[in-house]
Structure 1
Amino acid sequence: MDPLEVHPHIQIPPHSTNIQRPRNSVLSLLRRVSVFSHISTLHRPRHPTLDKLFDDAKKLEARIYRSVLYQKLFQHATYALLLAALYFILVGLPLWKGLVWWMYNFLATKFILTGGCVVFSGTAFLYAFAPLLIVFEKDPMKQDAEAVKSEPNSIQSCALLIPCYKSESLIGSTLEAALKVFPAKNIFVIANGNSPEPLDNTADVCHKYHVNHIWCPIGSKIIAQFLGCYAAENYPFTLLIDDDCILPPEFPIVTDRMKGNIKCLGYTIKSVGQGRQPGTLCQQAQDIEYKLSGLQRAFAGKVGSATFPHGAIALWDRELLMKTFHCHPGFSISEDWFFGHVARELGSRILMCTQVFVETETPPAIFWVDNNESRGGFGEMTIYKQRFYRWNFFFVNGCYWNMKYILWSWKLGWWEIGAKVFVWQEVYETIIFLLTPFVLPISLIIRPEFCAILLATTFGMYFINVLIFNEVHLRKKNERVSWVAILYYMPYKITLFLVNVASCYYSIYKYAKYFAKRHPKVVHDAKVIQVILDFVELSENEAGSILRHGRDDGAKEQHT
């Protein structure tokens, strides 16, 4: 699977910049397939800036367009550059001694190898065990959850946005859980796909539950989220979740924590299998991984800022989220990582709410599954495809964005120090992935006994880390996993480490094709802005129709 095919981005050929925006291009389609239980746009203000965005996008597309010939030349020139770097920098012989030769001689000095291993082990120990100094928050009180429902500044002021793709089979369970927390009028399902017509009957499911449904004819999660922000513009807060996230009945809408420069909050998540069961050992290992990641992000938030909230669920100040879309580079891969990166650059700390674990379905296997099995929504069937082709695609490229942030972004004040420590962790881990194919074999050749002891010690350190986490932190939340899953977890992580190493080099190879095309920001894509404009026009027409006919479906369609 090619990462470029997972979330294809439409390349628009150049047109005359004087062309006026065509009207009703997707308006009639939106009118046919959109379902609005409560029209939250009765008093929707107009958006004069959208027309300017559209005109600017039309002008920009002519400048950034690259012909097929240019893309091919760019791609093959990059391949040639990579081959030249591989030989002249890494190999060098017989012209000169390359980097691999110097690395071998550098590591051959016992002090260098020993000292380097001490630094590596010490850094790994700090990053692994420091988060264990905190614990998860206590479960929310049921009566508190009921009280929150009547608070005008909590649920009533928050919209739930659910971007989805071919989710007819699973969106029902997601909506049933969401309706125990949110009123129907606050829920917006934004189905999307590269098609002028809906790809399934998600709209019918939404109509059954009386929630808002919108069809976005451009297939991209980030574009669907952008459209959803305009649909929910009367709400000061937005909760973004994936189509397979099951909100617990006592789910806390912690908008009261949005104070000062705190404009984004993540939630801890847990892995489940089909039917909300623990699932396979692979899914239980992911459960440990997700929960441990949640604690690590919570710790990062306490000392500075989490790097980014989980892509599966995040609570945003809508104003900041809209600013984030304007600064987001527009990549449809790793869009959640870039959301966090841009939010921090804009001066927002990212904290975590650890009161509950939100369920999300995960791949049931690492490499192979039965061909008859399937998952709805955006999810792949194996962890290998999920991470090798998509999650890890920007690991190497992300080093540029992270180092740029570490050096030049200082809007969080003193909180930047803690934030940058964990941003550096991402750079540090990527460097380890890139050096592993060279350092590990050389170390095994030079000092095999020492290297074997170091690997065993590292393995044991992470195993103890997981044991403490399971027996102390998860026990307090009644979320412990089985001992079998704990034993499975370590070989699982070793396998994924090797997948991460391979994916870094694969992504470097694929960058030539990916960056041969220009990827505009969503606010610089004329087709995206046209969809937004048509949606706003449709909303105003729908609102006018309601006012003319005196229709009031509020009592009938309120679903709590």
Structure 2
Amino acid sequence: MSERENTTLSIVEDVPVPKHLLSTAKFNSPWEQLKWEKSLPQNDRTQARPSSAGKTQSGGLLRSASLSTRRVQRPPPATRPLSNPAEIHRWENIRKTDFLVPPITDPERNAPLSPIKEAILSPKESPTSSPARSPARSPTTSHFKSNRNSMYEVYEKAKVRGVALQRKHWVRLLFEYSLYALLILFVYFVLVGMPLWKGAVWWLYWVVRTKFVIQGGYAITIGLAALYAFLPLLILFEKDPPTIDDSNLDLEKNYSNAKDTALIIPCYKSANIIGPTLKAALKVFPPQNIFVIANGNNETPLDNTEEVCQPYGVNHLWVPVGSKIVAQFAGCYAAKGFENVLLIDDDCALPPNFPIVADRLKGRVKCIGYTIKSVGPDSSKGTFCQQAQDLEYKMSGLQRAFFGKLGSATFPHGAISIWNTEFLKQTFYEHPGFSVSEDWFFGDSCRRLGGRITMCSSVFVETETPTSVFFSGSGSRGGFGEMTIFSQRFKRWNFFFVVGMYYDIKYILTSWKLGWWEIGAKLCVFQEVYETLIYLMAPFMLPISFVVRPEFCGILLGATIGMYIINVIIFNEIHLRKKNERIGYVVLIFYYTFYKIALTVINVVSCYWSLYKYARYFASRHPKVTEDQQAIEVILSLEQDVEGSVSDEEELLRSHSENGNAYKRLTLTRTVPERMEDWPLRPEMEQTGDYSFHSPSWI
């Protein structure tokens, strides 16, 4: 009897609780106990407790016949009857397992945990629980299930967020036309003002005419321009990497880096151009590491890109969402097990000695861009316009390399960049999700998360560019397919110039995660703000200045053009000569000058055109990739394909798809190569056209 008085069983089956704890607990009422009981995990654990009375024996296992002599009277719905005793042979099997273990101990006090703590911790992982408590599962299966569970949580949030972001049609119309009205009112009442009052343009004219600020204003403007133009010339491009014929340790390191790096190639209707890209890539990467991610707003592929990929033995994925950033998002999850990912466009041809600089991704460096070059068809120099773009791309690469050494580049070129895989996944949660200028926002998100962006300038990766500035004949290109620079930049590249000022200023004022590297990074970011301000002020300052002081402004304009010509000559004769990449003087002196003037006009006009287009674009709210229900459905489909099973959540996902339509599924084709020893790609393989491989030993 004394034993009964000292120890009392709780109303929860098989969980012994000391009497003094039960009597002092604040859940003594039947309803409070029922609420507490429901909060405990249903672990169905059985405790064997010795007792001198009130017990029965079944199959050798002692089980309490009653919970307590002080049984609490609960409402009938709350009563939970004891389960029927199992058969004897089942109890014998249970006794032979490891499920019945001694009480868990507290590692801090080296004492057994109380039954309540043990019940709460079980069946979750406790501080000292051993793997024998639950059936062993392979790490891969656990990893997949963990990822899927987290993605299902993201999916549920995306569904809620998607509903919250939806605007009714009348709200979108009201938003759009309200912005149009606001722009008109701003132009008249702020800029013009006449005849009600003198507007900002008149006062700007008065200041320039009476206060003699032209000289000082131009001195500051040209001084900053010269600083940003000539400072990058203080560094040189990196040395060329070793060729594939050299038995060099650096090349062996490159092969080692290739094993841990996945090549992701998002593409859209790229069947005509993806072949040469894959042929070049197979000289650097094994086929199992290459993921061609075709995308489009259709359940089935829009062209035969998959058939083109099959002879090369690479992975092909069809993403039924027409978005480059969604394709890249899916590629990160398709490339499971790879520490790094290299993102390239479908028209980028990697050189045979392409350096995979994954070993530089350490510390704060999370992204590395590559310098690129403009080429024509079949890697030719192309038209004068393409050669001018070649010079422009290489100068931009040197500037980014300079600021990468100083702090961080603003962003890597969208054509090619290498990322730490896990960090890139994090950037998708920070990225605003805009499908235009996605590479610029990748850079902004990277810096906000505390990652530096540097450059590898040892090679120039080829990319095909538009053939003319304004007018073009027949032809086609990959990606968005623009055949003129005007279409490429006016309609797409420059769209976020003005909005980008908001993100840049916000970064300069609020982001400090790079430590001392922030100084160089913010100097680089300020350059973008400075250039955009010049584009916005040019339509007012230039006409007014030429009206007030035409001779002086003409001289300054000529001096500015001459300064940039000197800049490109130095760059061409020193930096490009060392890389054997010089541009002809006909293009350099004559065509490039007018090319840059035309680009300046395009940039100025596009800034004001984008202000007009923002009204309709932002009338619809744009979710992040991680808030896009269709994008998350693609990832869940990929997770299911990798794991090879359909879960209850998958069935629920199908049933919850909107409007009764099938949810977005990703189609994954993994080609099993046939010969392994042929990687890296050998010349005879190019001659025969047979690019199949055995699976490498490291896969």
Counterpart selection for 2:502 from 389, 400, 408: 400
The aligned residue for residue 411 of structure 1 is 513
The aligned residue for residue 179 of structure 1 is 282
Contact 1:195 1:217 survives alignment (8 Å): yes
Compared with structure 1, are the counterparts of its residues 240 and 146 closer, same or farther at alpha carbon in structure 2 (3 Å cutoff)?
farther
1:49 match: secondary structure: helix
Compared with structure 1, are the counterparts of its residues 44 and 275 closer, same or farther at alpha carbon in structure 2 (3 Å cutoff)?
farther
Contact 1:128 1:465 survives alignment (8 Å): yes
Deviation, structure 1 residue 150 = 6.0
Deviation, structure 1 residue 326 = 0.8
User: Deviations along 1:268-299, whole A, 9 cap, x unmatched?
Assistant: 00000111100000000000000000000000
The aligned residue for residue 129 of structure 1 is 230
Deviation, structure 1 residue 260 = 0.7
User: Deviations along 1:165-218, whole A, 9 cap, x unmatched?
Assistant: 010011000000000000000000000011111111100111110000000110
Counterpart selection for 1:253 from 339, 345, 356: 356
Counterpart selection for 1:102 from 190, 200, 203: 203
Amino acid aligned to 2:191:
L
Contact 1:170 1:243 survives alignment (8 Å): yes
The aligned residue for residue 278 of structure 1 is 381
Aligned-partner Cα distance in 2 for 1:45–1:327? 24
Contact 1:148 1:154 survives alignment (8 Å): no
User: Deviations along 1:479-510, whole A, 9 cap, x unmatched?
Assistant: 00111110211100000000000000000000
Deviation, structure 1 residue 153 = 5.1
Aligned-partner Cα distance in 2 for 1:145–1:328? 40
Aligned-partner Cα distance in 2 for 1:553–1:524? 34
Deviation, structure 1 residue 376 = 2.7
Contact 1:164 1:378 survives alignment (8 Å): no
1:269 pairs with 2:372: yes
Aligned-partner Cα distance in 1 for 2:379–2:186? 49
1:267 match: secondary structure: strand
Counterpart selection for 2:628 from 514, 525, 529: 525
Compared with structure 1, are the counterparts of its residues 163 and 44 closer, same or farther at alpha carbon in structure 2 (3 Å cutoff)?
farther
Aligned-partner Cα distance in 1 for 2:611–2:508? 22
Aligned-partner Cα distance in 2 for 1:328–1:454? 41
The aligned residue for residue 513 of structure 1 is 616
1:192 pairs with 2:295: yes
Give 1 or 2: higher helix fraction.
1
Deviant stretches of 4+, over 4 Å: 41-44, 144-147, 149-153
Contact 1:273 1:361 survives alignment (8 Å): yes
Deviation, structure 1 residue 556 = 3.7
The aligned residue for residue 159 of structure 1 is 262
Deviation, structure 1 residue 414 = 0.9
The aligned residue for residue 15 of structure 1 is none
Aligned-partner Cα distance in 2 for 1:391–1:354? 23
Deviation, structure 1 residue 256 = 1.3
Aligned-partner Cα distance in 2 for 1:559–1:537? 30
1:45 match: secondary structure: helix
The aligned residue for residue 420 of structure 2 is 317
Aligned-partner Cα distance in 1 for 2:254–2:575? 31
* Greater Cα offset, 100-109 or 402-411: 100-109
Aligned-partner Cα distance in 2 for 1:144–1:268? 25
User: Deviations along 1:381-422, whole A, 9 cap, x unmatched?
Assistant: 100000000000000000000000000000111111111011
* Greater Cα offset, 44-53 or 410-419: 44-53
The aligned residue for residue 502 of structure 1 is 605
1:431 pairs with 2:504: no
State percent identity of aligned pairs. 59
The aligned residue for residue 144 of structure 2 is 45
Q: Any stretches of 5+ residues in structure 1 without a counterpart?
A: 1-40, 544-550
Compared with structure 1, are the counterparts of its residues 484 and 152 closer, same or farther at alpha carbon in structure 2 (3 Å cutoff)?
closer
Q: Any stretches of 5+ residues in structure 2 without a counterpart?
A: 1-139, 647-669, 681-699
Deviation, structure 1 residue 258 = 1.2
User: Deviations along 1:331-372, whole A, 9 cap, x unmatched?
Assistant: 0000000000000011011000000000000000001111x3
Counterpart selection for 2:587 from 485, 492, 508: 485
Question: CA RMSD of the aligned region, Å?
Answer: 1.8
Aligned-partner Cα distance in 1 for 2:322–2:197? 50
Amino acid aligned to 1:45:
F
* Greater Cα offset, 60-69 or 78-87: 60-69
Deviation, structure 1 residue 379 = 3.1
The aligned residue for residue 452 of structure 2 is 349
Aligned-partner Cα distance in 1 for 2:472–2:406? 41
Counterpart selection for 2:193 from 89, 92, 114: 92
1:67 pairs with 2:168: yes
The aligned residue for residue 655 of structure 2 is none
Amino acid aligned to 2:617:
Y
2:308 match: secondary structure: helix
Contact 1:145 1:252 survives alignment (8 Å): no
Compared with structure 1, are the counterparts of its residues 141 and 148 closer, same or farther at alpha carbon in structure 2 (3 Å cutoff)?
closer
Aligned-partner Cα distance in 2 for 1:189–1:463? 41
Compared with structure 1, are the counterparts of its residues 296 and 552 closer, same or farther at alpha carbon in structure 2 (3 Å cutoff)?
closer
TM-score normalised over the length of structure 2: 0.71
The aligned residue for residue 487 of structure 2 is 385
TM-score normalised over the length of structure 1: 0.89
Deviation, structure 1 residue 316 = 0.3
The aligned residue for residue 6 of structure 1 is none
Aligned-partner Cα distance in 1 for 2:577–2:645? 52
Aligned-partner Cα distance in 2 for 1:260–1:200? 42
Aligned-partner Cα distance in 2 for 1:273–1:157? 32
Aligned-partner Cα distance in 1 for 2:247–2:341? 21
Contact 1:347 1:411 survives alignment (8 Å): yes
1:111 match: secondary structure: coil
Counterpart selection for 2:391 from 267, 285, 288: 288
Counterpart selection for 1:298 from 401, 406, 416: 401
Amino acid aligned to 1:229:
C
Contact 1:90 1:98 survives alignment (8 Å): yes
Deviation, structure 1 residue 442 = 0.2
The higher relative CO (CA closer than 8 Å, separation ≥ 6) is in 1
The aligned residue for residue 216 of structure 2 is 115
Whichever of the two has the greater Rg, that structure is 2
Aligned-partner Cα distance in 2 for 1:390–1:553? 39
Deviation, structure 1 residue 552 = 10
Amino acid aligned to 2:385:
C
Deviation, structure 1 residue 144 = 6.7
